[in-house]
Amino acid sequence: MSENAHANWAYADAFIAEDDTLIAARATAKELGCVPIFPGGGTVLSVLAAAVDARHVCEIGSGAGISAVYLLRGMNPEGTLTSIDTRAENQHAALATVNEYGIPAERLRMITGAALEVLPRLADEAYDLVFVDAVKSEYPDYVAHAIRLLRPGGLIVCDNMLWHSRVADPTQRDPDTTGIRETLKILRTDERLVSTLLPAADGLSVSVKRR
Ligand SMILES: C[S@@+](CC[C@H](N)C(=O)[O-])C[C@H]1O[C@@H](n2cnc3c(N)ncnc32)[C@H](O)[C@@H]1O
């Protein structure tokens, strides 16, 4: 590992600077007590959504809408983002963030509720990309739903897969950290998926559902 790893990481994270709207949305997220995806992770979302020309994306964890903006930027201009969150207050903030970009309201479908109650109601093989960013200990269950929701060739992207350096530290055994380790094992071993773990941001896993 390079001695400059941290400097390289910071350089890559700042590769595409955020505008004032996203900077303001980050301040709102902080007030709401939720931690948005890092800028470098956000650009990965845009690239992946563009790569599959995503028309139907499911996001688990709306927050204040930072990841929604990155996803919508990369998606097909007619694509729809379904975003799930337990907190209506967060979803109002997310809608306000997206509205700032003049994105038509019908492109963002907000569903308020617990992900594990909402996901079973979503259609099989109807999504091009599922982005996972809510309760870390529930990630294994989110991934099980994501595999069902994705069309063949679709993508699962999970944030915080290094969980603030805890995942790589075997002495950390809290439920969130062990939930992420369990998720990584599923992503690595499930034969329906081809997966990688990017050290971007706080760790982003990317998996393709085989055709
Ligand atoms: C890390 S934040 C999401 C940040 C957002 N993806 C972004 O990058 O801008 C996690 C969100 O998950 C929501 N959340 C917590 N428990 C949840 C659950 N059981 N189901 C769905 N969302 C939940 C929180 O209210 C919070 O808004």
Q: Candidates 133, 138, 139, 141: which one to mutate for ligand 1, based on the most atoms within 8 Å of Cβ?
A: 133
pLDDT of residue 83: 98
Of residues 151 and 8, more confidently modeled: 151
Q: Determine if ligand 1 sits within 6 Å of the CB of residue 132.
A: no
| pLDDT above 80: residue 106 | yes
| pLDDT above 80: residue 24 | yes
**DSSP structure string for 116-143:** HHHGGGSPTT-EEEEEE-S-GGGHHHHH
| pLDDT above 90: residue 6 | no
Structure tokens at 20: 């004032």
Q: Determine if ligand 1 sits within 6 Å of the CB of residue 114.
A: yes
**Span between the terminal Cα atoms of the chain, in Å:** 35
Give mean pLDDT, residues 164-189.
Answer: 97
Give mean pLDDT, residues 112-139.
Answer: 98
CATH code for residues 5-209: 3.40.50.150
Determine which residue's CA is closest to atom 25 belonging to ligand 1. 87
pLDDT of residue 53: 98
Q: Candidates 23, 28, 82, 87: which one to mutate for ligand 1, based on the most atoms within 8 Å of Cβ?
A: 87
Give mean pLDDT, residues 26-30.
Answer: 98
Q: Hunting for tokens 């390289």 — which residue is that? A: 8
pTM for this entry: 0.98
pLDDT of residue 1: 63
| pLDDT above 90: residue 171 | yes
Q: Determine if ligand 1 sits within 6 Å of the CB of residue 112.
A: no
Q: Determine if ligand 1 sits within 6 Å of the CB of residue 63.
A: yes
Dihedral of alpha carbons 130, 207, 46, 181, sign: positive
* pLDDT above 70: percentage of residues in the chain: 100
Q: Hunting for tokens 């729809």 — which residue is that? A: 80
At 117, the pLDDT band (50, 70, 90 cuts) reads very high
Q: Give the torsion through C-alpha atoms of 68, 53, 199, 110, to 10 deg.
A: 20
Q: Do residues 128 and 171 touch, judged by C-beta distance below 8 A? A: no
| pLDDT above 80: residue 3 | no
Q: Residue 59 CA: which ligand 1 atom is closest?
A: 6
Give mean pLDDT, residues 183-193.
Answer: 98
Nearest to 18, CA basis, from 46, 51, 50: 46
Task: Give 87 Cα–ligand 1 centroid separation in angstroms.
Answer: 8
pLDDT of residue 201: 85
Task: Give 191 Cα–ligand 1 centroid separation in angstroms.
Answer: 28
Q: What is the pLDDT of residues 32-83, one digit of tens each?
A: 999 999 999 999 999 999 999 999 999 999 999 999 999 999 999 999 999 9
Nearest to 82, CA basis, from 35, 119, 135, 48: 119
Q: Determine if ligand 1 sits within 6 Å of the CB of residue 37.
A: yes
pLDDT of residue 211: 96
Cβ atoms within 10 A of the Cβ of 203, count?
22
Give mean pLDDT, residues 95-124.
Answer: 97
User: What three-state secondary structure class fits 49?
Assistant: helix
| pLDDT above 80: residue 124 | yes
Q: Determine if ligand 1 sits within 6 Å of the CB of residue 202.
A: no
User: What three-state secondary structure class fits 29?
Assistant: helix
- Domain residue ranges of the chain, discontinuous segments joined by +: 5-209
Amino acid code (one letter) for 135: V
Strand-pair partners of 58? 82, 130
pLDDT of residue 5: 84
Backbone φ and ψ for 5, nearest 5 degrees, come out as: -55, -45
